[in-house]
Amino acid sequence: MHDHRDHPDHPGEQPDRSDDRPGHPRDHRRLGRELDLFDTDPLIGKGLPFWLPAGAAVRHAVEDYVHRVERRAGYRHVHSPIMGKRELYEISGHWAHYRQDMFPPMVLGGEEFVLRPSLCPHHALIFRSRPRSHRDLPLRLAELGGMHRAELSGVLGGLSRVRAIQLNDGHVFCAEEDAGREVAEALALIGRAHRALGIAASGYRLSLRGGGDKYIDDPAMWGRAEAILREALEECGLPYEEAEGEGAFYGPKIDIQFTDPSGRESTLSTVQVDLFQPGRFGLEYIGPDQRMRRPVMVHRSVVGSMERLAAHLIEVYGGAFPAWLAPVQVVALPVSEAEVPAAGEFLRSCEEAGLRAELSGPERGTLGARVRDHRLVPYQAVVGPREAAAGLVALRLRDGSRRGPLPLAEAVALVGREAAAPG
């Protein structure tokens, strides 16, 4: 069963029930606080977590990776405001179909402004801001942008259900005959990202229209969009299930499902075909015959929101992230005060190489205690008297294996190679 208070561009899931799983050893809320990844404060408010330095490092690593693969896939990155005039969301259909999940308007100078519930209206206006030709298509726009949902307190929890969302979002504007190919390419991009993150989808869901007034009443439009998604899934050889009543209010979507270690299912990534908003915003491009044509808008989120993705990664890895995602990739451990200068030199070399590194000196306890304290760090560089005298470090890996002793430059290069983000 899924939460039907779904967001059109941010997939819904059941409310976070971490407190109902006291035996769950990888509850991301508990680990997030123990590992100094994120926290909350009542003065900021429920559903508004803040990222601590370690959590921010994980998030930035994901962001850098996604930006890189999106650029290679032909996306152009943009930035748009986190709010807009109420009229914008009246045109997009959000005000009529999603108002109960939006924060109330703020009045300024006689105008009403709303914290945006979605990025797609802003991207539609970016498309509309310049004349477009068929030669410009497909136009692929991507953004890591903020949006807000007026979630009730009872469904909030950790990072998996929040009120302020940082969404990895993107929209492809293309001719309708090209929409199926764009959907297939988005699915391929999503699959590559999941493999790079070391996570695997548990299933694909074709989310369709249900009854009631939640959905745009245009059966022909829904049928065309559904056919595009269904054909792309079949061409990609992806088995899927259908789910009535899980579509966005303006069209069907493909939800890519994941199951966490406790068996709870949620959606991280989506692809949607939108034939509604291009008409609402009057989007046009000049076709090969010099006539004006209406584009299709393909919505896609490669990894979903930073919050929900981080919650899933924390629980999948239990805090022992792959080296490229780890908050600290290598820690320098001088055996005694005499080796601190040599360990500091290694630390500086790591930082110059772009590695996330720190030094844990003897003032923090015995070597054994420090090794245990940093058991989740992928690489531990132990510097004893012999290593310091010879310009070496002894690398200990998280799995207990050892590399070295190695010359300082060679050790830095090795960690750099093995901790590099996927291509």
Q: How many CB atoms lie within 10 A of CB 170?
A: 29
pLDDT digits (tens, 9 = 90+) for 319-352: 999 999 999 999 999 999 999 999 999 999 999 9
330-418: which CATH topology?
Rossmann fold (3.40.50)
Residue 176 confidence (pLDDT) above 50:
yes
Average pLDDT for residues 23-46, to the nearest whole number?
A: 89
Spatial distance between the Cα atoms of 79 and 351, rounded to a whole number of angstroms: 30
Query: Is 36:54 a contact under the CB 8 Å cutoff?
Result: yes
Strand partners, 38: 51
Q: Where in the chain is the domain with CATH 3.40.50.800?
A: 330-418
Query: Residue 214 — pLDDT band, cuts 50, 70, 90?
Result: confident
Task: Write down the pLDDT at residue 17.
Answer: 40
Query: Is 409:416 a contact under the CB 8 Å cutoff?
Result: no
Query: Residue 117 — pLDDT band, cuts 50, 70, 90?
Result: very high
Q: Where in the chain is the domain with CATH 3.30.930.10?
A: 18-317
- Residue 261 corresponds to which tokens in the numbers above? 């270690």
pTM over 0.85? The answer is: yes
Average pLDDT for residues 94-123, to the nearest whole number?
A: 95
Residue 222 confidence (pLDDT) above 90:
yes
Selection from 292, 188, 296 nearest residue 251 by Cα:
296
Average pLDDT for residues 100-117, to the nearest whole number?
A: 95
Please tell me the least confidently modeled range out of 97-106, 169-178, 206-215, 343-352: 206-215
Spatial distance between the Cα atoms of 1 and 9, rounded to a whole number of angstroms: 19
Spatial distance between the Cα atoms of 365 and 396, rounded to a whole number of angstroms: 18
Spatial distance between the Cα atoms of 185 and 165, rounded to a whole number of angstroms: 25
220: Cα within 13 Å, side-chain hemisphere: 0
Spatial distance between the Cα atoms of 205 and 253, rounded to a whole number of angstroms: 8
Selection from 374, 348, 342 nearest residue 360 by Cα:
374
Spatial distance between the Cα atoms of 253 and 64, rounded to a whole number of angstroms: 26
> Could you check whether the bond before residue 407 is cis, i.e. omega within 30 degrees of 0?
no
Task: Write down the pLDDT at residue 165.
Answer: 95
pLDDT digits (tens, 9 = 90+) for 395-418: 999 988 998 799 999 999 999 999
Write the CA distances from 176 to 95, 149, 291, 296, integer angstroms: 27, 31, 15, 5
Spatial distance between the Cα atoms of 169 and 122, rounded to a whole number of angstroms: 11
18-317: which CATH topology?
BirA Bifunctional Protein; domain 2 (3.30.930)
- Residue 43 corresponds to which tokens in the numbers above? 């003065």
Query: Is 360:370 a contact under the CB 8 Å cutoff?
Result: yes
Bigger pLDDT: 19 vs 126: 126
Residue 18 confidence (pLDDT) above 60:
no
- The mean predicted confidence, pLDDT, of the chain is 91
Three-class secondary structure of residue 363 per DSSP: helix
Rounded to 5 degrees, φ, ψ at 356 are -85, 105
**Torsion angle in degrees (nearest 10) through CA of 57, 58, 63, 69:** 120
Residue 41 confidence (pLDDT) above 80:
yes
Residue 157 confidence (pLDDT) above 90:
no
Average pLDDT for residues 56-74, to the nearest whole number?
A: 97
DSSP notation for 209-242: --SSTTS-S-HHHHHHHHHHHHHHHHHTT--EEE
Spatial distance between the Cα atoms of 274 and 177, rounded to a whole number of angstroms: 14
> Could you check whether the bond before residue 405 is cis, i.e. omega within 30 degrees of 0?
yes
Spatial distance between the Cα atoms of 393 and 388, rounded to a whole number of angstroms: 8
Query: Residue 24 — pLDDT band, cuts 50, 70, 90?
Result: low
Residue 300 confidence (pLDDT) above 90:
yes
Query: Residue 263 — pLDDT band, cuts 50, 70, 90?
Result: confident
Task: Write down the pLDDT at residue 14.
Answer: 38
Task: Write down the pLDDT at residue 423.
Answer: 74
Strands 357-359 vs 330-334: parallel, antiparallel or unpaired: parallel
Task: Write down the pLDDT at residue 26.
Answer: 82
Three-class secondary structure of residue 4 per DSSP: coil
User: Which residues lie closer than 8 Å to 294 by C-beta, 6 or more apart?
Assistant: 278, 279, 283, 284
Q: Tokens 């004349």 sit at which residue?
A: 131
Spatial distance between the Cα atoms of 343 and 337, rounded to a whole number of angstroms: 10
